[in-house]
Structures are given as C-alpha cells and as structure tokens.
Chain A
Amino acid sequence: MAPALTRRAGLGLLLLALPGGALAQEDAVATAIREQVGDTTATEGGITLRAPPVAENGGQVPVTVLVDSPQTAEAHVTAIHVFATRNPTPGVASFRLTPLMARAEVQTRIRLAEDQRIIAIAQLSDGSVRRTAAELRVTTGGCLS
C-alpha cells in the first residue's frame, strides 16, 4: 500500500506544479459530468455531435446531437447532456428525452467564450452511457463574462 500512496503523493505534487487555471477547469468539467451521469463508463460511437468547425459568433453556435436509438419504450435515450470545456462554467444544457420523440436528436444554440472542445453525453434506458466530443474554433467569443 505504501508505494502506491507515495506515487499518489508524487502525482499530487506534479499536479500542483501545473498551471492552476487549466487544472481547475478540467476538474470543473469532470465534476459537472459526474453530477449528471455518475461514474458510469461512457463508450464512444452511436452518438454524433454536429457543429461548425469554425463559429463566426461564439454567442450563437448551432449544435446538433444525434444518438442512434429506435426511441421506443423498450430502448430509448433518456438524456443528452452538453458540456463546454473552456467556458467560465462547463454546463450548457441537459435534455430529457422520451419515447414520444421520433428520434434521439436535439438541435440547440450554445455560446462559447473561446476555442474549445464540446462534449456530448447520452444516457440510455438500459443504463449505458455514450460520449462524443468536437473541437470548435470561435472567431468572436460569446459574452459569458
């Protein structure tokens, strides 16, 4: 046990040496994701995040999240969560979906303070979690702060 603890302590020191801002931001993103989906491991695939690679106006960036699902009572997407990794706060929105929807698709508009990675996470009725991400560039940042 002791060597593992030492290694962890060493990692702690290494993390302390990293720029605080970036670390705090990553932490905030991880925390925001955990708040929504818990600790379930997400798989890649079966989820698409569509967004322009370069957004002229960071205040209004059109984003579509689409999950492969029959959206029936037996098998459907129950939620889609969107996170922004380099905004002042990572939360964008959570969408609750039901079998009354024809497909697991939501189009929305988000705001981005600067170039960053957007993460979309879907929760399914069988308890599984899917995740995807996209890198977006922003010409003029949205006025978040």
Chain B
Amino acid sequence: MTLATPRIRVPRSARPGEAVEIRALMEHPMETGLRQEGGRAAPRDMLQRLTVSVNGALAFQAEFRNGTSANPYHVFFLKLDRTSELVFTWTDEQGRSARAQARVTVG
C-alpha cells in the first residue's frame, strides 16, 4: 500500500522576510496498534515524520507519536529571503514516503 497524496497550501509569492503561512495535510489513519477492533488490536500503521526543506536545507520537522491525530495537519510559518523551493516529505514507520513540492517566488 502506498501513502496518500499529501495536500499542502503554500502561497505562490511572498515578500522577503515576511511570515509565510504553510499548511500541510496528510491523509493517514495513524493507527497506534492499541485500538481494539473486533476483539483484537488493529495493526499499527503510523507516519513517523514530516520534514520540510527550503532550497535543500531542513526548515521544519515533525516527529509523530501516538497522540498525533489521524490525517496529521500542521500549520507553521517560514521566512524566505529569496525565491525558494519547498519540499515536504512524509515517512511512515515502514519507510514508505510521500512527497510534495512548491515554489515560492520572493521579491
């Protein structure tokens, strides 16, 4: 099974240094392995992390544990001093990953 297609919201353009709101949503059950389903535990199926890079440099990372909701949704703010390539990578505990990419024109 492959991961779902992530959904990101990134503005197309920004002024240098301003706070740029980034939203990232990933459809995923985030099954902890603790939940009982029909008398036995539903198998664990969890995303492990989300990494966000700006022009190849790590800008933000989320490491998920059991308390993170299904369909993890995150909002954070970047500052960009030049036109930037943003790469989002979600990785699950099996090592599968999904990727999204966006370009923000700064000027």
Contacts from A to B (Cβ < 8 Å):
59-61, 82-84, 87-98, 100-103, 105-112, 142-145
Checking B35, B57, B73 against A144 with a beta-carbon cut-off of 8 angstroms, the contacting residue is B35
Distance to closest chain B CB from A52 (angstroms): 14
Q: Is the CB of B65 within 8 A of A106?
A: no
A82 touching B67 in the complex, CB below 8 Å, given contacts A109-B73, A143-B35, A145-B35: yes
In the complex, which of the residues A61, A84, A90, A94 has the most CB atoms of chain B within 10 Å of its own CB atom?
A: A94
Could you list which residues of chain B lie within 8 angstroms of chain A, going by C-beta atoms? 18-20, 32, 34-36, 54, 57-79
CA distance A82 to B66 in the complex (A): 11
**If A97-B60, A102-B19, A108-B62 touch, does A87 touch B67 (CB 8 Å cutoff)?**
yes
CB distance from A70 to the nearest CB of B (A): 11
Q: Is the CB of B60 within 8 A of A93?
A: no
- Show 26 A/B contacts (Cβ-Cβ < 8 Å), sorted by A: A59-B69, A83-B67, A88-B34, A91-B67, A92-B65, A92-B67, A94-B63, A96-B60, A98-B57, A101-B60, A101-B78, A102-B18, A102-B20, A102-B77, A106-B62, A106-B76, A107-B74, A107-B76, A108-B73, A111-B67, A111-B68, A111-B69, A111-B70, A143-B35, A144-B34, A145-B34
Contact B69 A61 (CB under 8 A): yes
